[in-house]
Structure 1
Amino acid sequence: MTRHRLLLGLLALVLATAASTTLLARAGARPDPCVVKGERAEAREALVTGSGTQVLVIGDSYSVGAGVLPEESWPVRLPGRVRVDGFSGSGFSRGASGCGDVSYATRAAAAAGSARAGLARADLVVVEGGLNDADQPGADLEAGFVRLVEVLDGRPALVVGPPPAPRLPYDDVAAVDAALTRLAAVHGTAYLSMLDVELTYQQDRLHPDAAGQRVFGDRVAAQVRSLLTTGSRPRP
């Protein structure tokens, strides 16, 4: 009997230890980064600012405002009624993100069928990014750009290139800027190079801080105003 009770006690101890380990593992488990990025994207999309001309921003973590408050992200500086479709880590290339195909062209196609995103109602589409394409094959960047142009189907657009983030090799960023400059010229798309912009960054040396976001946003806003005044017209 004593031996039987001892065995039962040991079994209970093992089960309790296993259960505690499972609970601790669950409590300490890190959330899926792609799920987190998706939630942040949805939260940023819910913030619609301004009024008047419809502007849709498609971009990466800069558009989402990674590391700052959503209301401190650069798209709030733009004129018009601004909606943001941002996803951290995404780019022109299909393989830019580790979260599957969340490339700009793919998301633009999804936005075309979304009443909330309102691509069909956009008077101007601002496409921002390129940093996440710095380590992608040039052919993939070009293919992604061409797909994006096809999806936009003649809608007025402004492509905003990558800034010289200190964390990335300058030559890699400059190569993306050169490729986007060439592609925009070939396809008749307005292009704003950010290669010479001076931003202040967070500790990661990749994402702008709140002040850097303001500088970035004001520079894009000036170009948007110019396009809305002289280059683009509201779609019927």
Structure 2
Amino acid sequence: MLHRGIPRRVAGASVVVLLLAALMAFYVADRAGAGPARCQQHRLDARERAAIVTGEGERVLVIGDSWSVGLGQDDLSRSWAAELPGEVHVRGFSGSGFSARASHCGRVSFHDRAATALGVRPALVVVEGGLNDFDQPGAAIERGFRDLMADLAGHRVVVVGPADAPSRSRAVPRVDAQLEELSEAYGVPYVRTSDLDLDYLDDRLHLTEDGHRDFGVAVADRIADVEPTRPAVVRR
């Protein structure tokens, strides 16, 4: 009996180890928004959203993450950016952020995509993000922000910070405070959104259709209350 029990216990332990390994792999892929298939889907979504232009008037460029793309929505044209006034062009990429390694899908940070995004020749640039920088060191966020401001030199800019998404709520205050401080250092207005009460999908990270509308309306109202400015040259 003793000898029969040992293989069973070993087999049971092996199953547990395999399950834990599988769960860890799923977590890493989910956290990074990574894996070849997922990254490819993010690229397809980014292209689809970039092809959608909403509104009329002053040309507005939104550089952002999955929220600007509308990840999780059946109709990407209903992402929050559609609530902004003007002719709105979105250049978003799910999982990306200010820091270079917020995403594991390659060179897709805001800085990496800014030069191409500016091809729409905007009168105003709205940078939205921060939730994907939740586990990045402050130095990486600062470096990415600095490089982005250099990219946007000469353009009127507003930075929109992260909302308090439940799945990343613990990290939001740190990222929010740093982005506000960096925006002040570069002389561009910062729109705080961490106070908003929004509706989220079951993943507790992405917005429902109502959440997108409420976020977009709030951001549009708050941008109307500030004066977009060109980033200052900051010596580091």
TM-score range for the pair, normalised by the shorter chain length: 0.7 to 0.9
SS of equivalent to 2:42: helix
SS of equivalent to 1:184: helix
Contact 1:79/1:225, CA 8 A, preserved across alignment = no
Contact 1:78/1:224, CA 8 A, preserved across alignment = no
Q: Counterpart of 1:139? A: 139
Map 1:199-210 onto structure 2 (within 5 A): 199-210=198-209
Task: Report the CA distance shift for 1:231/1:144 in structure 2 as closer, same or farther (over 3 A).
Answer: closer
Map 1:81-92 onto structure 2 (within 5 A): 81-92=87-98
SS of equivalent to 1:98: coil
Q: Counterpart of 2:45? A: 40
Gaps of at least 5 residues in structure 1 are: 1-29
Moved over 4 A (4+): 230-233
Q: Counterpart of 2:117? A: 111
RMSD, matched Cα: 1.6
Matched, 1:78 2:77: no
Q: C-alpha deviations, 1:101-158, integer Å up to 9, x for none? A: 201011002223x3xxx1xx21110000000001011100000000010000131111
Contact 1:91/1:133, CA 8 A, preserved across alignment = yes
Bigger radius of gyration: 1
Partners of 1:218 and 1:175 in 2: how far apart?
25
Q: C-alpha deviations, 1:77-97, integer Å up to 9, x for none? A: 000000000100000000000
Q: How many percent identity over aligned positions?
A: 49
Matched, 1:61 2:66: yes
Give the one of 104, 109, 112 matched to 1:98.
104
Q: Counterpart of 1:155? A: 155
Gaps of at least 5 residues in structure 2 are: 1-34, 231-236
Shift of 1:206: 0.5
Scaled by the length of structure 1, what TM-score is found? 0.79
Partners of 1:166 and 1:109 in 2: how far apart?
32
Partners of 1:54 and 1:110 in 2: how far apart?
16
What is the number of residues matched between the two proteins?
Answer: 195
SS of equivalent to 2:60: strand
Q: Counterpart of 2:181? A: 182
**Amino acid of the residue matched to residue 75 of structure 1?**
A
Partners of 1:63 and 1:45 in 2: how far apart?
10
Q: C-alpha deviations, 1:196-233, integer Å up to 9, x for none? A: 11100001111010011011000111133345xx5569
Q: Counterpart of 2:218? A: 219
Scaled by the length of structure 2, what TM-score is found? 0.79
